[in-house]
């Protein structure tokens, strides 16, 4: 019977640890659309940490969630937290609980207006490229429930030329 050498045992251990962490702590998503441009580009691969404490979600976070309505994973920016009042005027200005928001990350604003009251267990999401984003403003149900949140986008790892931390 052959014995494993130390190198093989080390590699198997590293792979096993990676697989456990990949299932429990993080996952990688590939971005299929330009809805988050210029922050995130089509084809970017993003390391995403799993969300265990929903109360850690903050306005402005970029989250990955599962849309039951569209039956797909999506990545967008959190705009509305539970119980927030969202107002988007006809010029594209965003107000949360009556306070105008400064959104330096928005590249292509649009004039899609609306008023929303986020339910107690829900979140309201918008893309950074507002004129190209299919987001809460366009869905039949504009809110993503807490149970649908999967993870927080942390950093772009591929392509290497786009590597950056996401804030």
Is residue 33 a part of any domain in this protein? yes
Is residue 112 a part of any domain in this protein? yes
CB 146 within 8 A of CB 122: yes
**CATH number, residue 152:** 2.10.109.10
Q: Can you give the pLDDT at residue 73?
A: 94
Q: Domain count of the chain?
A: 1
Q: How confident is the model at residue 29 (pLDDT cuts 50, 70, 90)?
A: very high
Is residue 1 a part of any domain in this protein? no
Question: Quick count: other Cβ atoms within 10 Å of Cβ 53?
Answer: 6
Q: Can you give the pLDDT at residue 138?
A: 95
> Catalytic residue among 2, 53, 76, 136, which?
76
Is residue 69 a part of any domain in this protein? yes
CB 89 within 8 A of CB 95: yes
Question: Quick count: other Cβ atoms within 10 Å of Cβ 49?
Answer: 15
Q: How confident is the model at residue 162 (pLDDT cuts 50, 70, 90)?
A: confident
Q: Can you give the pLDDT at residue 167?
A: 76
Is the pLDDT at 21 greater than 80? The verdict is no
pLDDT digits (tens, 9 = 90+) for 50-90: 877 777 899 999 999 999 999 999 999 999 999 999 999 99
- Residue range of the domain that includes 130: 6-165
> Catalytic residue among 3, 30, 35, 53, which?
35
Is 133 labeled as catalytic in the residue annotation? no
Q: Can you give the pLDDT at residue 165?
A: 86
Prediction pTM value: 0.86
Is residue 120 a part of any domain in this protein? yes
Strand segments (E) across the chain: 26-30, 45-50, 62-67, 72-80, 85-88, 94-96, 99-100, 114-117, 122-126, 144-145, 149-158, 164-165
Is residue 105 a part of any domain in this protein? yes
Is 138 labeled as catalytic in the residue annotation? no
Is residue 19 a part of any domain in this protein? yes
Mean pLDDT of 137-159: 95
Q: How confident is the model at residue 11 (pLDDT cuts 50, 70, 90)?
A: confident
pLDDT digits (tens, 9 = 90+) for 98-117: 999 999 999 888 889 999 99
């Amino acid at each position: 019977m052959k014995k494993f050498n130390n190198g093989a045992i080390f590699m198997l251990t590293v792979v096993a640890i990676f697989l456990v962490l990949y299932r429990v702590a993080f996952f990688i998503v590939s971005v299929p659309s330009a809805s988050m441009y210029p922050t995130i580009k089509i084809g970017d691969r993003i390391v995403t940490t799993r969300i265990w404490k929903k109360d850690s979600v903050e306005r402005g976070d970029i989250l990955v969630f599962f849309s039951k309505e569209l039956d797909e994973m999506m990545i967008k920016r959190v705009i509305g937290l539970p119980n927030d009042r969202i107002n988007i005027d006809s010029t594209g200005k965003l107000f949360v609980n009556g306070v105008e928001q400064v959104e330096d990350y928005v590249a292509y604003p649009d004039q899609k207006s609306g008023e929303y009251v986020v339910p107690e267990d829900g979140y309201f999401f918008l893309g950074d490229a507002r004129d190209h984003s299919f987001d809460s403003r366009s869905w039949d149900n504009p809110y993503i429930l807490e149970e649908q949140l999967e993870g927080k986008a942390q950093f772009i790892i591929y392509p290497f030329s786009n590597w950056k931390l996401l804030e």
